[in-house]
Protein backbone atom coordinates (compact mmCIF):
# COMPACT_ATOMS: atom_id res chain seq x y z
CA UNK A 1 0.00 0.00 0.00
CA UNK A 2 1.11 3.56 -0.61
CA UNK A 3 1.52 5.96 2.32
CA UNK A 4 -1.66 7.73 1.17
CA UNK A 5 -3.59 4.44 1.15
CA UNK A 6 -2.27 3.65 4.63
CA UNK A 7 -3.31 7.12 5.84
CA UNK A 8 -6.81 6.86 4.43
CA UNK A 9 -7.32 3.40 5.95
CA UNK A 10 -6.35 4.59 9.44
CA UNK A 11 -3.07 2.69 9.59
CA UNK A 12 0.34 4.02 10.59
CA UNK A 13 1.86 6.04 7.75
CA UNK A 14 4.70 8.47 7.08
CA UNK A 15 3.38 12.02 6.65
CA UNK A 16 6.71 13.06 5.07
CA UNK A 17 5.88 10.94 2.00
CA UNK A 18 6.37 12.94 -1.22
CA UNK A 19 2.79 12.45 -2.49
CA UNK A 20 1.25 13.50 0.83
CA UNK A 21 3.60 16.45 1.13
CA UNK A 22 2.57 17.63 -2.33
CA UNK A 23 -1.13 17.14 -1.52
CA UNK A 24 -0.76 19.29 1.61
CA UNK A 25 1.11 21.96 -0.35
CA UNK A 26 -1.64 22.00 -2.99
CA UNK A 27 -4.25 22.42 -0.25
CA UNK A 28 -2.28 25.23 1.38
CA UNK A 29 -2.06 27.09 -1.92
CA UNK A 30 -5.84 26.96 -2.28
CA UNK A 31 -6.34 27.88 1.38
CA UNK A 32 -4.02 30.86 1.04
CA UNK A 33 -6.03 32.16 -1.92
CA UNK A 34 -9.31 31.50 -0.10
CA UNK A 35 -8.24 33.07 3.19
CA UNK A 36 -6.90 36.16 1.41
CA UNK A 37 -9.87 36.68 -0.88
CA UNK A 38 -12.07 39.73 -0.52
CA UNK A 39 -15.50 39.31 1.11
CA UNK A 40 -17.26 40.26 -2.15
CA UNK A 41 -15.46 37.54 -4.17
CA UNK A 42 -18.12 34.91 -3.52
CA UNK A 43 -17.76 33.14 -6.88
CA UNK A 44 -13.98 32.95 -6.52
CA UNK A 45 -14.41 31.50 -3.02
CA UNK A 46 -16.87 28.87 -4.27
CA UNK A 47 -14.44 27.80 -7.01
CA UNK A 48 -11.52 27.58 -4.58
CA UNK A 49 -13.54 25.43 -2.15
CA UNK A 50 -14.73 23.21 -5.01
CA UNK A 51 -11.08 22.60 -5.96
CA UNK A 52 -10.04 22.04 -2.34
CA UNK A 53 -12.81 19.58 -1.55
CA UNK A 54 -12.83 18.14 -5.09
CA UNK A 55 -16.62 18.43 -5.10
CA UNK A 56 -19.45 20.89 -5.47
CA UNK A 57 -19.81 21.00 -1.71
CA UNK A 58 -22.83 22.88 -0.42
CA UNK A 59 -20.99 24.84 2.22
CA UNK A 60 -20.19 28.32 3.46
CA UNK A 61 -16.96 28.73 5.41
CA UNK A 62 -15.80 32.01 6.89
CA UNK A 63 -12.10 32.69 6.42
CA UNK A 64 -9.69 31.90 7.92
CA UNK A 65 -10.07 28.17 7.39
CA UNK A 66 -7.37 25.50 7.61
CA UNK A 67 -7.24 21.81 6.75
CA UNK A 68 -4.64 19.22 5.79
CA UNK A 69 -5.92 17.93 2.45
CA UNK A 70 -9.52 18.97 1.83
CA UNK A 71 -10.32 15.93 -0.30
CA UNK A 72 -11.18 13.91 2.82
CA UNK A 73 -13.97 16.30 3.88
CA UNK A 74 -17.56 15.65 2.78
CA UNK A 75 -20.47 18.03 3.40
CA UNK A 76 -24.22 17.60 3.48
CA UNK A 77 -26.40 20.48 2.32
CA UNK A 78 -26.44 23.77 4.21
CA UNK A 79 -23.09 23.53 6.03
CA UNK A 80 -21.73 26.62 7.79
CA UNK A 81 -18.43 27.14 9.62
CA UNK A 82 -17.65 30.38 11.40
CA UNK A 83 -14.20 32.01 11.58
CA UNK A 84 -10.98 30.07 12.27
CA UNK A 85 -12.22 26.53 11.72
CA UNK A 86 -9.48 23.85 11.63
CA UNK A 87 -10.11 20.37 10.23
CA UNK A 88 -7.19 17.92 10.28
CA UNK A 89 -8.47 15.53 7.64
CA UNK A 90 -5.94 12.70 7.36
CA UNK A 91 -8.99 10.41 7.44
CA UNK A 92 -12.52 11.11 6.23
CA UNK A 93 -14.62 13.78 7.95
CA UNK A 94 -18.30 13.58 7.09
CA UNK A 95 -20.85 16.28 7.92
CA UNK A 96 -24.58 15.74 7.62
CA UNK A 97 -26.98 18.38 6.35
CA UNK A 98 -27.65 21.56 8.33
CA UNK A 99 -24.42 21.44 10.34
CA UNK A 100 -23.29 24.68 11.97
CA UNK A 101 -19.87 25.27 13.54
CA UNK A 102 -19.16 28.21 15.84
CA UNK A 103 -15.89 30.14 15.65
CA UNK A 104 -12.60 28.36 16.39
CA UNK A 105 -14.04 24.84 16.14
CA UNK A 106 -11.31 22.24 15.71
CA UNK A 107 -11.89 18.78 14.25
CA UNK A 108 -9.01 16.33 14.43
CA UNK A 109 -8.84 12.96 12.68
CA UNK A 110 -5.04 12.99 13.08
CA UNK A 111 -3.39 11.33 16.04
CA UNK A 112 -0.04 9.85 17.04
CA UNK A 113 1.08 6.56 18.57
CA UNK A 114 1.27 6.38 22.34
CA UNK A 115 4.46 4.31 22.07
CA UNK A 116 7.36 6.78 22.15
CA UNK A 117 9.54 4.93 19.64
CA UNK A 118 6.74 4.76 17.06
CA UNK A 119 5.92 8.44 17.64
CA UNK A 120 9.57 9.53 17.35
CA UNK A 121 9.87 7.59 14.07
CA UNK A 122 7.48 10.05 12.45
CA UNK A 123 4.68 7.53 12.05
CA UNK A 124 1.15 8.79 12.63
CA UNK A 125 -2.39 7.67 11.89
CA UNK A 126 -5.94 8.91 11.88
CA UNK A 127 -9.47 7.92 12.75
CA UNK A 128 -12.51 9.13 10.78
CA UNK A 129 -15.10 11.50 12.22
CA UNK A 130 -18.81 11.37 11.37
CA UNK A 131 -21.16 14.23 12.26
CA UNK A 132 -24.89 13.74 11.71
CA UNK A 133 -27.65 16.00 10.42
CA UNK A 134 -28.82 19.16 12.20
CA UNK A 135 -25.78 19.44 14.48
CA UNK A 136 -24.67 22.67 16.10
CA UNK A 137 -21.14 22.75 17.54
CA UNK A 138 -20.40 25.74 19.76
CA UNK A 139 -17.36 27.96 19.49
CA UNK A 140 -13.92 26.61 20.41
CA UNK A 141 -15.18 23.03 20.70
CA UNK A 142 -12.73 20.26 19.83
CA UNK A 143 -13.83 17.01 18.18
CA UNK A 144 -11.24 14.26 18.73
CA UNK A 145 -10.26 11.40 16.37
CA UNK A 146 -12.76 8.61 15.78
CA UNK A 147 -15.80 10.39 17.25
CA UNK A 148 -19.31 9.89 15.85
CA UNK A 149 -21.90 12.55 16.62
CA UNK A 150 -25.54 11.66 16.08
CA UNK A 151 -28.35 13.68 14.52
CA UNK A 152 -29.91 16.75 16.18
CA UNK A 153 -27.03 17.23 18.63
CA UNK A 154 -25.97 20.50 20.26
CA UNK A 155 -22.42 20.68 21.64
CA UNK A 156 -21.63 23.51 24.05
CA UNK A 157 -18.88 26.03 23.46
CA UNK A 158 -15.44 24.98 24.64
CA UNK A 159 -16.32 21.29 24.83
CA UNK A 160 -13.78 18.55 24.15
CA UNK A 161 -15.61 15.63 22.53
CA UNK A 162 -13.66 12.41 23.11
CA UNK A 163 -16.49 9.86 22.84
CA UNK A 164 -19.44 9.20 20.56
CA UNK A 165 -22.68 11.12 21.15
CA UNK A 166 -26.10 9.62 20.33
CA UNK A 167 -28.94 11.38 18.51
CA UNK A 168 -30.98 14.15 20.13
CA UNK A 169 -28.77 15.34 22.99
CA UNK A 170 -27.21 18.50 24.34
CA UNK A 171 -23.65 17.82 25.47
CA UNK A 172 -20.94 20.02 26.94
CA UNK A 173 -17.79 20.10 29.02
CA UNK A 174 -14.25 18.80 29.12
CA UNK A 175 -14.55 15.96 28.66
CA UNK A 176 -17.86 16.43 26.90
CA UNK A 177 -20.82 14.68 28.52
CA UNK A 178 -24.56 14.55 27.87
CA UNK A 179 -26.42 17.33 29.69
CA UNK A 180 -29.95 16.51 28.53
CA UNK A 181 -32.01 14.59 26.00
CA UNK A 182 -33.91 16.52 23.35
Q: Which residues pair with 88 in a beta bridge?
A: 108
One of 112, 148, 151, 177 is an active-site residue; which one?
112
36 given a catalytic annotation: no
User: Which one-letter DSSP state was computed for residue 103?
Assistant: T
For residues 28 and 66, the answer to whether their CB atoms sit within 8 Å is: no
Query: How distant, in Å, are the alpha carbons of 4, 12, 48, 122, 126 from that of 1?
Result: 8, 11, 30, 18, 16
Give which of 42, 43, 79, 84 is closest to 67, Cα–Cα: 84
Residues serving a catalytic function are 112
Amino acid sequence: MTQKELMLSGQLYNAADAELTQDRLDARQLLYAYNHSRPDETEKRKLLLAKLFRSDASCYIEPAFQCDYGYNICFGENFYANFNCVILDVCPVSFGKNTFLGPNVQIYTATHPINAQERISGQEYGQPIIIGDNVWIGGSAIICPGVKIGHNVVIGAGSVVTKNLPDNVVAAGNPCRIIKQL
